[in-house]
Structure formats: C-alpha cells, structure tokens
Structure 1
C-alpha cells in the first residue's frame, strides 16, 4: 500500500472519529426520547443523567479537539544573516532533494531534527515550512552526518509527508482530548478507545513508511556512509544527552541551582567522555520495533539504506559546528529563549557542581541531625551534638534507626559511612575542602591546594567512644570545625520527593482523603466525599503540582516521623501509624476507591517496611 493511500485512509479514519461521536450523540438523543416518552419517573431522570454524563465527556473532548491548533513554533529562529553557511547548505540540499527549501530554520534543545508545514485545505495549499535542528546534533555530528539528517528531513517535503501534518495533529488531539475525559466504566468511551487504537495503528504505519522514504532521499543526496553514520550516532548522542541531564544537571536543578551555560556544558561533556562514547558506538543497533512505534528500528533503517544503489560522495568529516560558527553564542541565545530558570540561583559550572553536591550532602545530613535532635530532646542538632552522643555511648541507638537489621553495637560501627559524609560537610562548610568539577569523571573532594582528601579514617575514629577525642583533635588540626555542620531543614519537607503511588478517597482519621505516597512520606490531600473519577483527579493533581508544593499546602507525614505501623485489616487495607510524640494516624482503604497503578501494593510494602524498621 502506498504512503499516499495510507495517509488518505488515516484522514478518512479521522473523519470517522468525529462521525462516531455524532452517531453516539444521536443515539443518546433517541434513547432520551424513548425514556421520556414511556416514563417520567425518578428512574428515568437518573438514567437520563447517566447517559448525558457519559456522552458529555466525549462531546467535550471532541469539541476541544476541533478547536485545537498547533502551538507557536518552538526554538530559536536562525536567519540567513545569522547562519549563512547553514542556510546555504540547506538550500543546496533542498535543490538536490527536488523540493522547496524551508522558510524558517529553528534551533531546538533536542536530540532530533524535524520539519513542519502550515499547509491548508487538507494539504492542497502549501504553507510556511519550518526546519527544526537539534542543538546537540550541531555539537556532536560531522558535516557529513548533518547533511544526511537535513536531507532526510527535506525528503519529508519532497515526499509531501508534511502536507497533512495539521490533520495528523488534529487526529492525535482528538484522541487525547476525548479519551482523557472518559472513565474506564464509560461504555461510550470503550468504543472510542477501540477506534483510537485502530487509528494509531494506521497512523503509525504511515509514519514508519514515510521515514523509510525520507531515508532514501538521505542516501541519494548525502551518501550511504553519511546516512548510516548519522543513524548509528543518534542513539549515542541521545544516551550522552540523558546522562548529562541525569548526572550533571537534574540534582542541582531540583535543589534550586542552575548552570549558566546548559548547552555549552553538554558539548564539553561529549568531548571529554570519548572512551564511554566509543563503547556505545560498538553496540549493535536495535532491529526490533513495535507496531505502535512511529519510526522503524534503527537496525532496520540501516539495512534498508545499505540495500539502496550506492552513490559516491566526497566525505566531509569537519564538525557540524562549522555550519554555525558562533555555536556557543547560539547556545546561550537558545537557552534564553527556551529555558525558564525561575528563581534558581544561576552559577558557573564549577560553582554549580560544588553547590549542588553540598546541598545534597546537607539534605542527607539534615535527616541525621533531626533524629539526633529528637533523641537529645533539643530543637536543633549538628555534628557537635552527634560527637557528644558518641562520647556518652549513645550513638548505637541513633545509628540503629539507619541500620535496623544490625545490633546497637554493629549499627554504631556501620555509622562510620554516614559520619564520613557529615565530616565532609563540615570540611566544606569550614572552607577546608571543596568539590572539584570534572567532565570526564565524577566530582572529587579536594583541599584548598587541589589535592584529593579522604576522611574515612577519621570517621572510623569518630564512631568509637574511646577514639572520638582523637578524631576531634585531628579535625581541628586541619581546620574542620564541628559547629560548621548543622541542620538547615529542622523539619522534614517533601522537597525533591518522587511520587511512588496514589490512592483516591481513602479515609484518614475518618476524613475523606486522597493519599499520595512519596518516597519520603505520606501526603494527605482532602478529597470530595464519595467523589467519582478519583483516578482522573489524582492524575490532574500530580500533573499540575510538584509534590513539594502539595506538601507545603496539605498534611505531610515524613517516614522518619513514623515510629511504627500496624496493618489491622488486609482487604481493604486498614492501618495505623504511630508518630513521634505519641500521635496515631488511621488509614482505611475503601472498596470502591481508585488508585494509580498498583498503589495499594506499594502502600502495603511501605507499611511493612516501617514495621520491620521499628521491630
């Protein structure tokens, strides 16, 4: 089946999606007529309400989809004056691909390239063409590989693949808006879900075929070596991009810091991590794909490329950044256009890394300091108070909270690792050490002269009452002050927490509540009595709010505040939580309560873990 025919079928199915909605609306109208023609009882009113509620969700979704429009173009606009070499290359490739060049080129923060066209009248009238180029590709590809990617995207134009992009957008919008509004017990929604799956199967089959057709243009215009090379490099760049944000950016970002040059940092990491990237390039590309994927597997695409007639091309292994000489400045301009720093503190990379690691250490230390304060009966505690606990022989009880499977004596010995972290925090706060940033390896702790330092030996001395004074003297001798490491968050918060589960309409202390399970504690949000659509309410709540924000407005009980947990009934689960200070929290699951995923199992596991810790 040709791509054009598949696309026509896809459009016809989209029309059918709307017709299905109209048919269901007509069916409800007929049913209402029949109901009120034969009876006007209370049962008729209830049945009418149920029918209107069921079809109403569908109608609202369809109406919103009809009115939906693609958003404003994303990314940083690059004019021919700003990027003459890039524009010249794109125009030359467009001519070779036999198509009209794009009207705009935009730089985007993605490991991807794409094209769009604001065509009208179902693609019969051409519109503004836009080419989107991922900043990471310009930072990592060769000119050959970049030409291949650009030729592929221009191949979508020459194949008229973008003419129906607006229609495809509406189709997916219709699916999303409609299906997101129907509950799992809505019979009308069942019909739409089945139809939606069929539509996606056909639509995705079209796009997979279009990708293979665009690959043919890439090979013809840029050569098979460049085309295959770009295909093999894409997953490498994507893996590096994910590693970069996961390892270097995200932790500090969540803690209120931001690097001053996000895209420049990625370029430096890619240059520094040559060995790891080389190992990634040696991996065989994936040959398996799903019928739900919009792109064929990379291995399948490479095999199809190699099967095409060979075309000779002179290689150009210069870095793709030569097409945009002022790439660093463009990266900063892109950052200004697409990155919202909010109220984060923006720092140079060296300071950003140091501040991020120190904040992470402070958060871990605060957990220990809060427990020490509770045991000592004081408002706040720090490393000096913990040294006092060691001297008095009380470290074992504190350490047992963090090593529940050990005896008091074993826990005190095992506490050497947390003690090392606490001493490191004191060293950084005292100015005796700092965290040194590196693109090729993890950050390392160094002294003011740049020499690596390690406090593990002193930490072992610090957990033993017979040697704690020696540890104290050795720390003082190298300028580390115990008083420098003190609690910052005297009360536990949900900052940086992840959601691990959510249950709707749980009774907490006999109040109707939505229970959000975080990796740091229980979050109790008031819920409507006997509320319906609990699953949808939970999804909306979590998609529109950060857990820390919710914990600021609603009741949050950190796990560290819970001294014990009892499951009093297994199904539906009933439990009681004992808190520091003697208070008790009761949790009762409802038979009809909804949940996200297997949240009930998660709750049970959390309660059992708390109980084991308390024993």
Structure 2
C-alpha cells in the first residue's frame, strides 16, 4: 500500500472512530424510541432502561465529543529564545527554512528533554494551518555539533516539506485525538473502579463484622471500562495504518536532513540521539538529584547544564562513542510511528558519499548566547515547585554531603542493633561488641538472606562473617567522614571517589580481617583509627 493511500485510509479510519461513537449514541437513542413505541406508554421498567442507555451514552458524548482539548498554543514547555537574545540559533533555523521552502516557526523554545520538534496550532484536524513553534532540547546543544544540530532541525522541517505526505498533520492530530479519547475513557473507568472497590471493601467489612463471608464480587470499572476496551480495539487498527505513514515520514524527513546537513552529519546525529537520552537519564539520577533527599541541588543552571561536564569527560566520551557505534538491532513495531533507530541509520549510511563529511564541528552550545542564564531560566520553569526550596551548593559540597547522608542511612540498621545491645551506635561500639564476644549476636539482628537465616553453628558464623566485616568497614569510614578525616570527591568518570587518610587503605584490610577472625583482635583497627586522628571515644 502506498504512503498516500495509507494516509487517506488513516483519515477514513479517524472519521470512523467518531462514527463509531456517534453510532453507539444514535443506536441507543433508536432503541429507547423503539421500546417506547412498543410499550405505548411510560412504565417504570422503561425508565430504568432509559437510565441505563443514558449511562452508556453519556461517557461517549462527554469524552469523545464534548471534552475541550488543550490547544498546542496553550501552556507551552520550556523558555522562549527570541531573535534578539539568540541570533545564532535563529539564523540556523531561518537558513533551514529557506533551503526547505518551509514556513519557519513564530517561536523557538528551549526544553530540558533530548528532543526537537516543530508543532503547529492547526484547526480541523490539521487541514487549516496555524502558528508554528520549534522546541529544541538543551541536551542536544550540549551533545551535538553544529552540523549534527542542523541535521536534527532539518529533519523536523522535513515533516512540513512539500515532499512529505500532504495529510501528515491530519494523521498526527488524529493520533492525538484518539489517544485523548481512550485516555479519558480509561481515566473515568479507573475512577469508577476505585469508587466501586471502596464500596465493596466497606460491604466486606460489614459482613465480616457480622461473622459472614465476604462476597467474591470484584470492581470492574463498569460501562466505562467496556467502552474503553471497545474504542481501544478500534484504535489498534487506526494506529497500525497511521503509524505506517509516520514511519515513512521519518525516512523522508531523514533524507531531507541529509540533503541539508550532509550524510555523515545526519548519521552521526541519529547515532548520538539514543546515547544522549541515556546519558541525560543517568546524569539526572546519579548527579543532578543525588542530594534531593537532603534538600540539596547543584548551582543554578547546573541541574540541566551540568550534563556538559559528563559529556566532556574523556572516559565518558569514549564510552558514549562506543555505544553510538554499536546500536542494537530492533524489529519494527507496527504501532510505533518511528522506525528503529538502527534502520534509520542504515538507510542514511547507504546513501552515496556527498563529500561534506561531518559538517560544522563546533559545539552546538556555542550557538546559545549566555547559556548559563538561559539554563537557569529553564530550571525555573521546568523543575517541580519543591525544587525552589532546595539549597544550591557547589558540586564538591553536593557530592560530599549526599554521600555522607547515604552512608549514614546505610549504617542505620547496624546502629539500631548496637543500641538494642546497650552499646553506642559507633565504630567504637561495634569494636566493643566484638571484644565482648557479642559480634554474632549483633549480626543476628541485621537483615539476612533466607539461606543465612536457616544456618546454624559454624555455617551461621561463616554467613555472618562478611556481614560483620562489611558493617565494621562501613562504620569506620563513616566515623572518619563525620570527623572530617575522609570524604567523597566528585568524579565525572565514575562513582564518587572515597578519599581516606594517607596510609589508611593499605592497613585497612588486614585490620578488618583481624577484627573478624575466629579469635578476634580489634587492636590493629583501633590503632589505625587513632593514627588517622579519630578519638578513641
């Protein structure tokens, strides 16, 4: 089936989606009229039937036809970048618009996601054009070259090119409408199911109070769930056709990007996109929010902007380059509007060499004037309100404080076990427990595996020995860190690095082994801690 035929089929199926809803409502109305005519006059049973049909028709009318959808021109994400503030970015966008013959955006916004897109405030399911907006993900500026960014933006403009499918906007708008409708029906069903479950739980509690067996009745979501499933089944056919159009459009847009920025720059950008997405997720989870639980965040502009430190680290850069060269192979999903990235890369790399190489190799972030200020503004509009209450500290302090907090949390079970034994929750208390012959009593109070819990005698001690050693090492490090004699240092190449006093690491393992031996000797570890400057008590 050609792309154009698929597009027209998708539009017809979209119309069918609404006709299905209309058919349900009209069918129920015809049924009500027929029943009334057959009965000749109003009866209580007839009123009950009308109430039932109204209960079915209302969610269809409410969700499919009457719900007001948020327009694209409503609350927009990110921060706007004006021509006056960011002339370099606008110059690139204008140049792409001229070369593609596509009407450019009225507004450009910077967003925190690894994404770029041009969307339009259309009417009548995309048939009437409107104001266009371009969004550019800040991670793209940090991780791509100028040539690669030009390719990414050229791809987005390609969706609006005359060489693309004419009904592209209609199929895109149609997908949004269908997803909105199905989502609305499932939300209603979830809400009703929760209400139904609460009522059933109350009934079950009353029956139990009277000594009666609770009912086996389960909450289902009622008619809303049935309707949601019906429309979901129909939507699968619509998505299977419309997403095929979307996949064809992606290949066409990639080709336009290659014509604009060059084959190599386009292939390189495609390879980097999934790597950047993973790097962003890793950075936010392992760096930017490492101090979230203790109310700390990196300096202003660094929650998103700090990604450039990770991307600039030589070791990380080498890792990402290797990942980009080894994209995993994926089978196309018939319900996905985007083909697998490895197939898109293969299609571009199969093009003849155009001799342009990788294009402009300068960092795309150089296009963003006063980047620190813009990234700070991006945080203000993108982070959750709770972020405003967090303290901003430098990276070094953030890592030290966060790791110390994590260490305290990890040491909490051992501290509680020591307190239960009447000993101080410190490394000295743990050493005293060992000297008093209570080490195994201590480890018995700590979480253990099922196998360890079932062991006895010598076997139980062998299971407990590494636990004791781990807790003793942890308590020693925590004591040194709290005394300011040790700490963690930021590393963009890997996990935070623990820095111990000079000479401590070489003697640490033997001292731990001595303290955890069958005949324990805590004096080497006590002496080592004292030499490092830790008070005995």
TM-score (norm 1): 0.70
Q: Secondary structure at the match of 1:126?
A: coil
Which residue in 2 is equivalent to 1:442?
Answer: 495
Considering Cα pairs closer than 8 Å and 6+ residues apart, tell me whether 1 or 2 has the greater RCO. 2
Match of 2:379 in 1: 335
Asked whether the equivalents of residues 232 and 285 of structure 1 are also in contact (C-alpha less than 8 Å), the reply is no
Task: Between 443-452 and 108-117, report the one with greater CA deviation.
Answer: 443-452
> Which deviations, in whole Å up to 9, do the C-alpha atoms of 1:268-320 show, x marking residues without a partner?
11111122123213314535221122211122222332455664547322222
Indicate which of 443, 454, 465 corresponds to 1:413. Answer: 465
**In the alignment, which of 365, 369, 376 is matched to residue 321 of structure 1?**
365
State the distance in 1 between where 2:135 and 2:29 align.
47
Quote the offset at 1:97 in angstroms. 0.8
Q: Of 176, 179, 184, which aligns to 1:169?
A: 176
The answer as to whether partners of 1:416 and 1:459 remain within 8 angstroms in 2 is yes
Does residue 235 (structure 1) correspond to residue 274 (structure 2)? The answer is: yes
Measure, in 2, the Cα distance between the counterparts of 1:34 and 1:385.
85
**Cα distance per residue 1:9-52 (max 9 Å; x no partner):** 43433333233223223344455667787699998888776665
3-state DSSP of counterpart to 2:133: strand
Separation (CA, whole Å) in 1 of partners of 2:479 and 2:510? 15
Distance across 2 between alignment mates of 1:453 and 1:348: 31
Contact 2:263–2:348 under 8 Å retained in 1: yes
Query: Cα 1:63–1:283, aligned 2, differ >3 Å: closer, same or farther?
Result: same
Give the direction of change, closer, same or farther, for the CA distance of 1:263–1:453 in structure 2 (3 Å limit): farther
For residue 252 of structure 1, report the CA deviation from its aligned partner.
Answer: 2.9
Change in 2 beyond 3 A, CA 1:175/1:387 = same
Task: Name the SS for the 1:181 alignment partner.
Answer: helix
Give matches, 1:61-460, under 5 Å.
61-62=63-64, 65-70=67-72, 71-158=74-161, 159=164, 163-164=169-170, 165-182=172-189, 183=220, 186-260=225-299, 261-272=302-313, 273-308=316-351, 311-313=354-356, 315-340=359-384, 341-373=387-419, 375-376=420-421, 381-400=425-444, 401-404=446-449, 405=452, 407-414=459-466, 415-447=468-500, 455-460=508-513
Where is the helix percentage greater, Structure 1 or Structure 2?
Answer: 2
Instruction: Give the Cα separation in 2 of the matches to 1:295 and 1:126.
Output: 24
The correspondence for 1:468, drawn from 491, 506, 522, is 522
What is the aligned partner in structure 2 of residue 570 from structure 1? none
Tell me which moved more, 92-101 or 463-472.
463-472
Alpha-carbon spacing, 1:73–1:389, altered in 2? closer, same or farther (3 Å) = same
Match of 1:21 in 2: 21
Q: How far, CA to CA, are the matches of 1:195 and 1:482 in structure 2?
A: 74
The 8 Å contact of residues 103 and 128 in structure 1, kept in 2 or not, is answered as: yes
Q: Is the 8 A contact 2:280 2:307 kept in 1?
A: yes
Task: Give the conservation status (yes or no) of the 8 Å contact 1:208–1:295.
Answer: yes
Match of 1:546 in 2: none
The alpha carbon displacement at 1:387 in A equals: 3.2
CA distance in 1, matches of 2:504, 2:273: 38
Specify whether residues 184 and 200 from structure 1 end up closer, same or farther in structure 2 by C-alpha distance, changes over 3 A only: farther
Structure 2 gaps, min length 5: 190-219
C-alpha distance in 2 between matches for 1:90 and 1:83:
11
2:534 to 480, 489, 496: 480
Tell me the secondary structure at the aligned position of residue 191 of structure 1.
Answer: helix
Asked if the contact 2:143–2:308 (Cα under 8 Å) also holds between the matched residues in 1, the reply is yes
- Cα root mean square deviation, aligned: 3.3
1:435 aligns to what SS in structure 2? strand
Segments of structure 1 that go 5 or more residues without pairing to the other structure are 484-615
Cα deviation, 1:63-116, whole Å, max 9, x if unaligned, reads 564444344221121111221111111111111111112111111111121111
1:290 is paired with a residue whose SS is coil
Instruction: Describe the shift of the 1:161–1:369 C-alpha distance in structure 2 as closer, same or farther (beyond 3 A).
Output: farther
Does the CA contact (< 8 Å) of 2:485 and 2:501 recur in 1?
Answer: yes
- Kindly tell me: are residues 11 and 252 of structure 1, through their superposed partners in 2, closer, same or farther at Cα, counting changes over 3 Å? farther
Match for residue 549 of structure 1? none
Q: Distance in 1 between matches of 2:69 and 2:425?
A: 58
Bigger CA radius of gyration: 2
